[in-house]
Structure 1
Amino acid sequence: MEKRVTNGQAWWLRLLTLSFAAAVSLTAGIAFLDLVGGNRPVLIDWVRTILLVLTGFWLVWGGTIGLLGALSPAPRAPKKRPMPQGKTAILVPIYNEDPLETFSRIAAMNRQIVARGFASQFHFAILSDTTSLEVAAEEASEFERLIVEPEAPGRIFYRRRERNVGRKAGNIEDFIARSGGAYDYALILDADSLMEADTILTMAQRMDDDPRLGLLQSVPVVIGARTLFGRMMAYSSAYFSKYFSRGAAMMQGEDGPYWGHNAIVRVRAFASCCGLPVLSGKPPYGGHILSHDYVEAALLARGGWKVEVDPELGGSFEQGPENLIEYAKRDRRWCQGNLQHRRLIAAPGLKFWSRFTFVQGIMAYLASPLWLLLLAASLIASVLPDSGGERWGVTPWLIGIGVLTTLLLPKIAIAIRGALDGNNRRFGNWRIIPSVLGEIILSTIIAPVLLAFQSRAVFQILFGFDGGWPATERDARAVSLNTAFAASWWIVVTAIGAIAFMAFVGPAFLPWLLPVAAPALAAPLVIWATSRGGDSPVSQWLFSVPSERAPSPIITEANAILSSWRATEPVLMSGRVETGVHAPA
């Protein structure tokens, strides 16, 4: 995005959007209190009103970001730039991943970089924190394939830490401390990341052009989905995320986010600012910081460096969870990491927006149990005397209409904007309406299940349970019905209890409970069904994305290399791999 929002403009946008979200949520709260409490509200009425205002604020805030992105002017085409001057290390931290898939992606990126003629400016460093000896042996074997790729010797390095202190953040810090002095920039990827060489080149050139730019974050798009859940996530990522990210970028200005991967950092800035503390006490609140990326972005901003996100870069990809259980497992780690940030909100020297980002990240998870508390309080209020129960009948429908409007309005605006700027053509113009409707319906069915998983995660952390850092099973797809039931039986029991309670004490209010309780009651079926169906004609037609309709060259290259490598047995060349190898210091 060549024309970027200044910090002064970002402040005005922040003030306007925060004021709008506050005004809408407070107005809704006052109207709600008047409707259910009348002139004599009781305690339960005040509790519900406060919960509605809190949850409504963050809901409106998120919707406003999407609307802002949909209504913002189209960015100008980027200028052509010369060869990047700085030297970049492309870092790929791995932790018990599938080496074949990860290394084939690295090979694809390397081939493109070599073909562009700037191989000397870009090195790869594979930073293994793998704890499984079997997987470590596979990594060493696959590195033998990688080291014979074009111009790989002296440019592609592999090392494995025996002790993964600090997890991913510690892995990156270890490289920066040992070898960072050899490089100007570091492009940080995940094991499932994939980026076009032209995107990598552009990001390095942007760092050359702006000596104050400390971090530039791309907006990765989910690719490779093979289940119904994965396809829905991929479609949402490809179709909606650019506009939501565009709106967020306008408000963030130079105090933008870092999502831990598919981003380039200035090594000098990162080394001087981003040493992470070990929080006192035991996990889940103490120990190493799990959501390190938000903290590193805040530390860079505190150090006077620009932190920017550019949704217009393109050519940035990642894989996503293929079923709800894997999504919930990853989400549990993020939840614990975000709730840790409550101890950092008051850290000295941080910018206001960095502190607000911490609060926003915390509320992204606290909102789920707050919605459940609002639901529980409303169930109680419906049968309590003097609680406005007799006036409660119309209220849930008004709340539902308000929530749906807030959620749907940005998506409708994005669909209209896509028709105006030509984006819809990439997805098939005549598919947009059924595809967006399909995404809305499926996400609505899934939402109560995700809300339950997130609420459980919050309560587990509040009660002191540490979720740790489980390895991601990126290839996990179909879930058996038994596995789905084992993971969600407690959601079913909770739904049965809520339905039985309402049927017994207030059957007139049961209809407004069912839209939430019914998907929760069917949680095992929802998990099981959405972990399948990705190859069905309906799923492929509804959730067709550009990465499948017209694959990016890097996707085609990576798939071809992976197929070729899978067709051949690994050939070990003893003595080639040294687990202590680092890029030259």
Structure 2
Amino acid sequence: MARPRQSEESLQRRVLLVRAVAVLLALATGAGAAAIFIQYAAADGLTPMAVFSALLLCFSTSWLAWGACLGLIGLKPSRFRAPRHEGPIASRTVVIVPVCNEDPVVTFARVAAMYRSVSAATAVPVHFAILSDSRDPGIAAAEERWFARLMADTGGAGRLFYRRRSQNTGRKAGNIEDFFARSGGAYDLALILDADSLMEGDAIVEMIRRMEADPSLGLLQTLPVVVRAQSIFGRVMQFAAAFFSPVFSRGLARLQGRTGPFWGHNAMVRVEAFAAACGLPVLSGPPPFGGHILSHDYVEAALLARAGWKVRLDIDIRGSYEEAPESVVEHAKRDRRWCQGNLQHLRIIGAPGLKAWSRFVFLQGVFAYIAPVLWAGFLISVVVDHVTQPPPNYFPDPHQFFPVFPSDETAKAIGLAIGIFGLLMMPKLLTTLEALIAGRTKGFGGTWNALKSVLADFLLLSFLAPILMAYQTRSVWQVLMGRDGGWPANLRGDARLSLAEAWAASRFIVLAGAACLTIGYFLTTQILVWLLPVAVPMLLAPVAISLTSRAARPAVGRARLFTTPEELAVPAILTLHDRVLAGWQPVAVAPAEVKSLPEPELARG
């Protein structure tokens, strides 16, 4: 027993060392950027506003450097091999599928596909529990009808269960907590999914074996792969997740060690540990900072770690899938909820007994939403400083076709901008190099197609970045002003927006961009050229949002832009889901149409 303990202690020491180096590098990079800015600003007289700008730049650049560190740490392939139990499976396992006003046809077809897949992977019974929080009576009635169809098609009596709560207290977290309180004693392990999750039966069995091999493992998180994206925005996000996320997630896993993440779905928990440690408090006061915790998953991971359980991210588990928003607006709606939930963590960060790393994760989550505000504040403070104390040659003359370098100070400003741009690009460039060396580009349509997709990903997301920053800044402002965003319903499938709809959703961004250019032109003409990369995308936000919500051009028999491995070799569980869905009528029903669902024809005997 001494060697495993020694190995565990050695692993913990390495994790602590990597954490310390990453934090120091990020802080040093931010401090260096601020020092260059201060040196530059001091050439014409240092002002209090310039010092304030330098502080904002320090924090913002440190955040960029932190993200770069995750990518750099994850470049090295992992030699870690998770222990797995090889004998007969003894654990009683349930797959939990929480739903709330979802399309029951598509959702229950996913359950049918996973049930058949896991039944083929193991003879050990794995139960499925569909936990409904649907409030619409028509949808609730449809769920009951289609559950009857599910039972008839699968013969899953005694293994498939459905229940609908009369009150959706605590939303998803409360739904799961209620299930554990009522039925958790019947199970050892629970796989928690979202309504749009799909998992291969082999992946579920692998997770069970890894949980059985390590009795101290309280939660095992997989890296879900985004699939089924159809719009331009959805496909670029799907490609980015498939191409870059494995490297960044590997870096995250190395940093977090046994205090890993929980993303709320596609993760397996030890029921006894979760039920004993993860009771969530109701925060005092009204929302947005009070009430039920929205981003409950990070809190539950922290509570498990506080109780001494391991929380681990294993990115090598294949067969874990999810869907993602198909438009900028749907992405912003979901991000608004995450923003409120992460800012709520300010109320929890000082809770007694939490691991230091858990507190750091909470702080990191808060900073993820504060960082865009700091960048916007930096730009505004530089403009204000320039208006009140205009130094000569502060920025190149915008009427020149190319920047000029009239002084060393201007050269430093250009160098600082290039350095910040490099922090954004370096991890992606190195990840691309890693993919070329490792041969991963084959799964993305070949080397040339993968490189084209990386370039298109960079150009499109760079253009959308100011728009997304504007949405995040508004979200933070709304929370600070006491506005509760609630838990808006997810719009799955087609999310196409007309130009008028996109304008209605983004006119505040257009107005902000116009104000930015107006100030730059009339008050600080020389700074205008530096505002163009931010202001122009904001002015064109409705066009960008509408165009990227449209369906991407299909390709027949060849790779297309943003191709992913799951498109070239369709996973078995996706094929099985399509087959189940094709046999159910109607094939797809939008939530608004569920009330008019016909009674399903139940299979006989």
TM over 0.5: yes
Given that residues 273 and 304 in structure 2 are in contact (C-alpha distance below 8 angstroms), is that contact kept between their aligned partners in structure 1?
yes
The equivalent of 1:145 in structure 2 is: 149
Alignment of 1:250-269 (within 5 A): 250-269=254-273
Normalised by the length of structure 1, the TM-score is: 0.94
The 2-side partners of 1:505 and 1:572 are apart by: 67
The 2-side partners of 1:105 and 1:371 are apart by: 42
The 1-side partners of 2:182 and 2:11 are apart by: 36
Moved more, 105-114 or 350-359: 105-114
Moved more, 401-410 or 538-547: 538-547
Residue deviations 1:12-67, cap 9 Å, x none?
Answer: 11001001111111111111110122384111110110000011111100111011
Q: Work out the percentage of aligned pairs sharing the same amino acid.
A: 46
Of 168, 172, 190, which residue of structure 1 is paired with 2:176?
A: 172
Task: Please report how far the alpha carbon of residue 173 of structure 1 lies from its aligned counterpart in structure 2 after TM superposition.
Answer: 0.1
Given that residues 100 and 135 in structure 2 are in contact (C-alpha distance below 8 angstroms), is that contact kept between their aligned partners in structure 1?
yes
Instruction: Verify: 1:84 aligned to 2:89, yes or no.
Output: yes
Given that residues 300 and 306 in structure 1 are in contact (C-alpha distance below 8 angstroms), is that contact kept between their aligned partners in structure 2?
yes
Of 569, 579, 596, which residue of structure 2 is paired with 1:560?
A: 579
The 1-side partners of 2:416 and 2:372 are apart by: 16
The 2-side partners of 1:286 and 1:258 are apart by: 22
Task: Please report how far the alpha carbon of residue 72 of structure 1 lies from its aligned counterpart in structure 2 after TM superposition.
Answer: 4.0
Given that residues 306 and 353 in structure 2 are in contact (C-alpha distance below 8 angstroms), is that contact kept between their aligned partners in structure 1?
yes
The equivalent of 2:591 in structure 1 is: none
The equivalent of 1:110 in structure 2 is: 115
Task: Please report how far the alpha carbon of residue 76 of structure 1 lies from its aligned counterpart in structure 2 after TM superposition.
Answer: 5.3
Residue deviations 1:50-90, cap 9 Å, x none?
Answer: 00001111110011101111134455598683342211110
Alignment of 1:55-94 (within 5 A): 55-73=60-78, 81-94=86-99
Given that residues 342 and 362 in structure 2 are in contact (C-alpha distance below 8 angstroms), is that contact kept between their aligned partners in structure 1?
yes
The equivalent of 1:288 in structure 2 is: 292
Aligned residues: 572
The 2-side partners of 1:161 and 1:318 are apart by: 25
The 1-side partners of 2:243 and 2:377 are apart by: 33
1:548 aligned counterpart, secondary structure: helix
2:220 aligned counterpart, secondary structure: strand
RMSD: 2.1
Change (3 A) 1:546 1:190: same
Residue deviations 1:365-416, cap 9 Å, x none?
Answer: 011111111111111222222x656434436543431222111111111111
Of 408, 411, 422, which residue of structure 1 is paired with 2:425?
A: 408
The letter for the 1-side match of 2:17 is: W
Given that residues 149 and 601 in structure 2 are in contact (C-alpha distance below 8 angstroms), is that contact kept between their aligned partners in structure 1?
no
Alignment of 1:415-454 (within 5 A): 415-427=432-444, 428-454=446-472
1:225 aligned counterpart, secondary structure: coil
Alignment of 1:178-197 (within 5 A): 178-197=182-201
2:31 aligned counterpart, secondary structure: helix
The equivalent of 2:533 in structure 1 is: 515
Residue deviations 1:312-364, cap 9 Å, x none?
Answer: 11211000000011110010000000000001111000000000000000011
1:391 aligned counterpart, secondary structure: coil
The equivalent of 1:464 in structure 2 is: 482
Change (3 A) 1:39 1:517: closer
Moved more, 526-535 or 483-492: 526-535
Of 54, 57, 63, which residue of structure 2 is paired with 1:49?
A: 54
Change (3 A) 1:398 1:88: same
The equivalent of 2:159 in structure 1 is: 155
The letter for the 2-side match of 1:219 is: L
Residue deviations 1:73-123, cap 9 Å, x none?
Answer: 455598683342211110000011111111111111111111223351x10
The equivalent of 1:582 in structure 2 is: none
Instruction: Verify: 1:455 aligned to 2:460, yes or no.
Output: no
Given that residues 449 and 559 in structure 2 are in contact (C-alpha distance below 8 angstroms), is that contact kept between their aligned partners in structure 1?
no
Change (3 A) 1:54 1:389: farther
Change (3 A) 1:355 1:107: same
Instruction: Verify: 1:10 aligned to 2:27, yes or no.
Output: no
Task: Please report how far the alpha carbon of residue 151 of structure 1 lies from its aligned counterpart in structure 2 after TM superposition.
Answer: 4.2
The equivalent of 2:394 in structure 1 is: 391
The equivalent of 1:98 in structure 2 is: 103
The 1-side partners of 2:19 and 2:82 are apart by: 26
The equivalent of 2:401 in structure 1 is: none
The equivalent of 2:403 in structure 1 is: none
Change (3 A) 1:39 1:350: farther
Of 475, 483, 495, which residue of structure 1 is paired with 2:513?
A: 495
Given that residues 32 and 49 in structure 1 are in contact (C-alpha distance below 8 angstroms), is that contact kept between their aligned partners in structure 2?
yes
The 1-side partners of 2:283 and 2:417 are apart by: 41
The letter for the 2-side match of 1:528 is: S
Moved more, 4-13 or 19-28: 4-13
Q: For structure 1, which runs of at least 5 residues remain unmatched after alignment?
A: 577-585
Of 233, 251, 254, which residue of structure 2 is paired with 1:247?
A: 251
Given that residues 585 and 600 in structure 2 are in contact (C-alpha distance below 8 angstroms), is that contact kept between their aligned partners in structure 1?
no
The 2-side partners of 1:496 and 1:352 are apart by: 44
Residue deviations 1:107-151, cap 9 Å, x none?
Answer: 11111111223351x100000000111111221121112112334
Of 140, 146, 150, which residue of structure 2 is paired with 1:136?
A: 140
The equivalent of 1:345 in structure 2 is: 349
Q: For structure 2, which runs of at least 5 residues remain unmatched after alignment?
A: 1-6, 397-409, 588-596
Change (3 A) 1:200 1:72: same
Of 8, 29, 35, which residue of structure 1 is paired with 2:34?
A: 29
The equivalent of 1:299 in structure 2 is: 303
Given that residues 495 and 517 in structure 1 are in contact (C-alpha distance below 8 angstroms), is that contact kept between their aligned partners in structure 2?
yes
Given that residues 214 and 269 in structure 1 are in contact (C-alpha distance below 8 angstroms), is that contact kept between their aligned partners in structure 2?
yes
Residue deviations 1:440-471, cap 9 Å, x none?
Answer: 11110111110000000000000100001111
The 1-side partners of 2:441 and 2:553 are apart by: 23
Residue deviations 1:250-306, cap 9 Å, x none?
Answer: 010000000000000000000110000000000000000000000000000000000
The letter for the 2-side match of 1:354 is: S
Given that residues 114 and 151 in structure 1 are in contact (C-alpha distance below 8 angstroms), is that contact kept between their aligned partners in structure 2?
no
The 1-side partners of 2:492 and 2:15 are apart by: 37
1:478 aligned counterpart, secondary structure: coil
Instruction: Verify: 1:38 aligned to 2:43, yes or no.
Output: yes
Given that residues 108 and 558 in structure 1 are in contact (C-alpha distance below 8 angstroms), is that contact kept between their aligned partners in structure 2?
yes
Change (3 A) 1:176 1:550: same
The equivalent of 2:277 in structure 1 is: 273
The equivalent of 2:399 in structure 1 is: none
Given that residues 215 and 308 in structure 1 are in contact (C-alpha distance below 8 angstroms), is that contact kept between their aligned partners in structure 2?
yes
Moved more, 361-370 or 149-158: 149-158
Change (3 A) 1:279 1:471: same
Instruction: Verify: 1:200 aligned to 2:187, yes or no.
Output: no
Given that residues 85 and 213 in structure 2 are in contact (C-alpha distance below 8 angstroms), is that contact kept between their aligned partners in structure 1?
no
Change (3 A) 1:203 1:436: same
The 2-side partners of 1:308 and 1:502 are apart by: 49
1:426 aligned counterpart, secondary structure: helix
Given that residues 144 and 573 in structure 1 are in contact (C-alpha distance below 8 angstroms), is that contact kept between their aligned partners in structure 2?
no
Given that residues 534 and 540 in structure 1 are in contact (C-alpha distance below 8 angstroms), is that contact kept between their aligned partners in structure 2?
no
